[in-house]
């Protein structure tokens, strides 16, 4: 292979993959994962840090040798994942790392670096002064469910796409470190039994959302309670106003009746007094009073009596109308009675 920066593809890629410890440790890769000019690395069942239960911010580390064949990420959950493939890159090969859109389309955000460096998965032996393959060097990714629904991930799922390039090796090979599973386990706080693991931003957004929903629910319940109390208060006030109005009407009617009765009494008394006076006057009239004058006096008395009786009748009718009007008003003001 000449190191001209050529993208490995087709038979050249298969040949490179098939060379023992040139790219992957033997037995850790599958030719089924070769697609176009690249290779899809798969989700491993160990070296993971995943939520203890979906939606929970407690994280569990699945160490080398343990195995989890599938797990679920609730919206807002994150995880550290590793590949099934074990890496041991020769110094004349490198690879670029790309996302799998199928995962992105499910709402899975993959945080990854850009490159697998030449010599990744190789170690220098001081005693023999030779480079040898590490037994279990994986690629690690940080993933977060930023979608609206749960995402189920299974061992063997394709998680990233690598494209390999044949390159000129560096004059002096260097060992390539990885931040490592232990460091990332600490980052995810899998070593703490506390509910503050995972990627803080997504956890905070998730917590914020659930807090906001709780507060919004409390506010809604509070508003509904206030509205109910306000309506109860309002109808109580309406009832009290109606009762007060009824009392006022009753007092007004009572006083009206008393006034009308008083006027009636005064009228009747006056009428009696005037009639008695007229009768006395008639008795005292001289006998020789002319028939014409006598008739005039009687006519005046009769006219006065008629006018007085008519007045009393008018007053009585006015009193009746007042009492009826008050009763109608009272009915109209009772709560629940439609206006007009």
Binding site for ligand DUT (CB under 6 A): 97, 112-113, 115-117, 120, 139-141, 176-179
* Beta carbon nearer to ligand DUT, 77 or 137: 137
- Minimum separation from the CB atom of position 54 to ligand DUT (A): 24
Map 213-254 to HEC letters: HHHHHHHHHHHHHHHHHHHHHHHHHHHHHHHHHHHHHHHHHH
Q: What is the DSSP string of 80-130?
A: EEEBSS-B---TTEEEEEE--HHHHHTTEEEE--SEEPTTTTEEEETTTTE
For the purposes of burial, counting CB atoms within 10 Å of the CB of 117, is it exposed (0-12), middle (13-18) or buried (19 or more)?
Answer: buried
* Beta carbon nearer to ligand DUT, 13 or 95: 95
* Beta carbon nearer to ligand DUT, 51 or 118: 118
Query: Are the C-beta atoms of 77 and 144 separated by less than 8 Å?
Result: yes
- Minimum separation from the CB atom of position 102 to ligand DUT (A): 18
* Beta carbon nearer to ligand DUT, 99 or 207: 99
- Outline where the chain has alpha helix (H): 10-18, 101-105, 181-187, 200-284, 291-333
* Beta carbon nearer to ligand DUT, 13 or 93: 93
d(CA 298, CA 304): 10
- Minimum separation from the CB atom of position 221 to ligand DUT (A): 47
- Minimum separation from the CB atom of position 193 to ligand DUT (A): 27
- Minimum separation from the CB atom of position 80 to ligand DUT (A): 10
Dihedral sign of CA atoms 103, 104, 106, 108 in order: positive
- Minimum separation from the CB atom of position 179 to ligand DUT (A): 5
- Minimum separation from the CB atom of position 74 to ligand DUT (A): 23
- Which tokens belong to 212? 């906001």
For ligand DUT, the nearest residue by Cβ is 113
236-268 as b/e, with b when 16 or more CB fall inside 10 Å?
eeeeeebeeeeeebeeebeebeeebeebeeebe
* Beta carbon nearer to ligand DUT, 120 or 202: 120
* Beta carbon nearer to ligand DUT, 142 or 190: 142
């Amino acid at each position: 292979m000449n190191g001209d920066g050529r993208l490995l593809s087709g038979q050249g890629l298969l040949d490179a993959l098939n060379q023992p410890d040139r790219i992957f440790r033997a037995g850790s890769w599958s030719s089924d994962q070769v697609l176009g000019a690249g290779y899809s690395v798969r989700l491993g069942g160990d070296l993971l840090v995943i939520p203890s239960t979906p939606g929970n911010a407690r994280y569990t580390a699945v160490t080398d040798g343990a195995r989890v064949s599938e797990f679920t990420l609730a919206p807002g959950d994150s995880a550290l994942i590793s590949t099934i493939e074990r890496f041991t890159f020769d110094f004349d090969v490198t690879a670029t790392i790309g996302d799998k859109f199928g995962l992105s389309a499910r709402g899975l955000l993959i945080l990854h670096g850009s490159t697998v460096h030449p010599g990744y998965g190789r170690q220098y032996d001081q005693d023999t002064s030779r480079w040898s393959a590490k037994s279990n060097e994986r690629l690690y990714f940080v993933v977060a469910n930023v979608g609206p629904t749960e995402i189920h991930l299974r061992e063997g799922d394709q998680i990233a796409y690598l494209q390999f390039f044949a390159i000129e090796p560096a004059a002096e090979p260097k060992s390539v470190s990885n931040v490592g599973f232990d460091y990332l386990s600490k980052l995810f706080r899998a070593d703490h039994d506390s509910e503050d693991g995972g990627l803080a931003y997504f956890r905070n957004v998730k917590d914020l959302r659930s807090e906001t929903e709780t507060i919004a629910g409390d506010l809604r319940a509070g508003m509904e309670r206030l509205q109910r109390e306000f309506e109860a208060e309002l109808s109580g006030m309406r009832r009290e106003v109606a009762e007060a109005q009824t009392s006022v009407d009753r007092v007004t009617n009572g006083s009206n009746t008393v006034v009308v009765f008083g006027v009636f009494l005064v009228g009747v008394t006056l009428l009696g007094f005037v009639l008695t006076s007229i009768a006395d006057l008639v008795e005292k009239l001289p006998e020789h009073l002319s028939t014409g004058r006598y008739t005039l006096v009687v006519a005046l008395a009769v006219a006065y009596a008629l006018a007085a009786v008519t007045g009393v009748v008018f007053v009585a009718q006015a009193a009746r109308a007042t009492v009826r009007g008050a009763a109608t008003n009272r009915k109209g003001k009772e709560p629940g009675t439609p206006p007009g």
